[in-house]
């Protein structure tokens, strides 16, 4: 099973982080980015697309040319909770800031979840998510220093085969 990531296209928060919008939408540039995602080195059809519930990810899917056999919105793949309003789905949502241990626990849940999907013989999965989550999922240590993959807006990335 091949697993791919797609970071959401440019959002209003990416454009202007001083205005910390709750569940921010894509900008007009973000809509263009989503519509023009380059699939030349990647599939444009997936067995399963898993999407963060935040609007910028859902709109990236909506404006892209992606297709899938199954589509799922899953809270495990939402933004790392850093305290920004842009991490929230609505103004009444109460989310505690995730510390390092919380993030490690979520990464373990995600890896277990993906192993469960492998049992279902899914051939390829695309996860539409956020760069902080991708960085944490891909993080590894070299000589005590942590490195991860940071994606640009609307960037596709082949993570791994499991």
Please give the order of strands across the beta sheet that includes 2-7: 67-73, 45-51, 124-129, 2-7, 156-161
CATH class of the 2-161 domain in this structure: alpha beta
Question: pLDDT tens digit string along 67-111?
Answer: 999 999 999 999 998 888 888 888 888 778 999 999 999 999 999
CB proximity list for 119: less than 8 A, separation 6 or greater: none
HSE-CB of 160 using CA atoms within 13 angstroms: 10
Strands 156-161 and 124-129: unpaired
Is pLDDT of 20 > 80? no
pLDDT band at 45 (very low <50, low <70, confident <90, very high): very high
Question: pLDDT tens digit string along 128-149?
Answer: 999 999 999 999 889 988 899 9
Residue bearing the bigger pLDDT, 16 or 73: 73
């Amino acid at each position: 099973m091949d697993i791919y990531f797609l970071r959401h296209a440019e959002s209003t928060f990416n454009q202007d982080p001083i205005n910390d919008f709750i569940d921010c939408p894509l900008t007009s540039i973000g809509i263009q980015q989503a519509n023009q995602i380059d699939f030349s080195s990647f599939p444009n059809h997936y067995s399963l697309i898993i999407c963060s519930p935040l609007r910028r990810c859902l709109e990236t899917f909506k404006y892209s040319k992606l297709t899938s056999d199954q589509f799922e919105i899953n809270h495990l793949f939402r933004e790392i909770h850093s305290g920004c309003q842009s991490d929230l789905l609505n103004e009444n949502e109460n989310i505690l800031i995730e510390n390092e241990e919380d993030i490690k626990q979520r990464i373990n849940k995600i890896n277990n979840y993906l192993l469960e999907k492998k049992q279902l013989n899914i051939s390829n999965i695309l996860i539409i998510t956020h760069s902080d989550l991708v960085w944490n999922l891909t993080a590894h240590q070299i000589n005590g220093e942590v490195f991860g993959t940071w994606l640009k807006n609307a960037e596709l990335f082949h993570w791994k085969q499991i």
